[in-house]
Amino acid sequence: MDKFPITKAGFENLKKELERLNRVDVPQNIKDIEEARAHGDISENAEYAAAKEQQSFIQGKIQEIQNNLATSVVIDLNNLSDEKVVFGTTVTIEDIDSGETTQYQLVGPFESDISKNKISVTSPIGKALIGKEIGEEVSFRTPGGTRSVEVLDITIER
């Protein structure tokens, strides 16, 4: 079984989500199913069908999170160096063509969230940036074509 890196914060967030599903969503779903059953014939009961579908979704999400937790390896960010781009570092890059700067934190696949500028080390840009130093240029393929960026800064959020 493959193991995937995750920050301590990312691991804790997964645990919190699992706890919320088990303590809030599952009991609420059970109530919804009971209420729908009380309305009579379940064969033509849209509320019952929706509640059962939600139950399946919740159980799937619980299994997914349990699997993610089981295959995660928490990486301690306290001992990282900011000399090279590695898992957990925040890197500022500049697009060679447009001059646009962007800052990303490199995280594991279970906690990547582009809206929060957290990208996976397994993504094309993440793979390309690993091991690079300030001043290095990096090229990588994206669905929109090949991009070239320069590493401007590397920091560590502890």
111-126 confidence digits (pLDDT tens): 999 999 999 999 999 9
Mean pLDDT estimate for the chain: 93
Indicate if the pLDDT at residue 135 is higher than 70. yes
Q: Which two tokens stand for residue 154?
A: 């590397």
Q: What does the pLDDT read at residue 158?
A: 62
Whether residue 22 is predicted with pLDDT greater than 80 in this model: the reply is yes
Question: Domain span at residue 68?
Answer: 4-74
Count of residues for the chain? Answer: 158
Number of domains in the chain: 2
pLDDT tens per residue across span 45-99: 889 999 999 999 999 999 999 999 999 999 988 888 888 999 999 999 999 999 9
Whichever domain contains 133, its CATH number is 3.10.50.30
* 68 and 88 assigned to the same domain: no
Q: With beta carbons less than 8 A apart as the criterion, state whether 37 and 48 touch.
A: yes
Q: In sequence order, which residues have a C-beta less than 8 Å from that of residue 112 and are 6 or more positions away?
A: 118, 119, 120, 123
Residue 82 has a pLDDT of 83
- Regarding whether 12 and 69 lie in a shared domain, the answer is yes
CATH number, domain of 16, equals 1.10.287.180
Note the pLDDT of residue 11. Answer: 96
Give 120's strand partners: 107
Cβ atoms 119, 104 nearer than 8 A: yes
Same domain, 116 and 147: yes
Q: What are phi and psi of 46, to 5 degrees?
A: -65, -35
DSSP class of 113: B
For residue 140, pLDDT beyond 80: yes
Report the Cα 59 to chain-centroid distance in Å: 19
Residue 43 and residue 62 in one domain:
yes
| Distance, CA of 71 to CA of 62 (rounded, Å) | 14
Q: Given this model, what pLDDT does residue 1 score?
A: 65
82 and 146 fall within a common domain? yes
One domain for residues 107 and 93: yes
User: Are 57 and 96 part of one and the same domain?
Assistant: no
Neighbours of 103 (CB within 10 A): 12
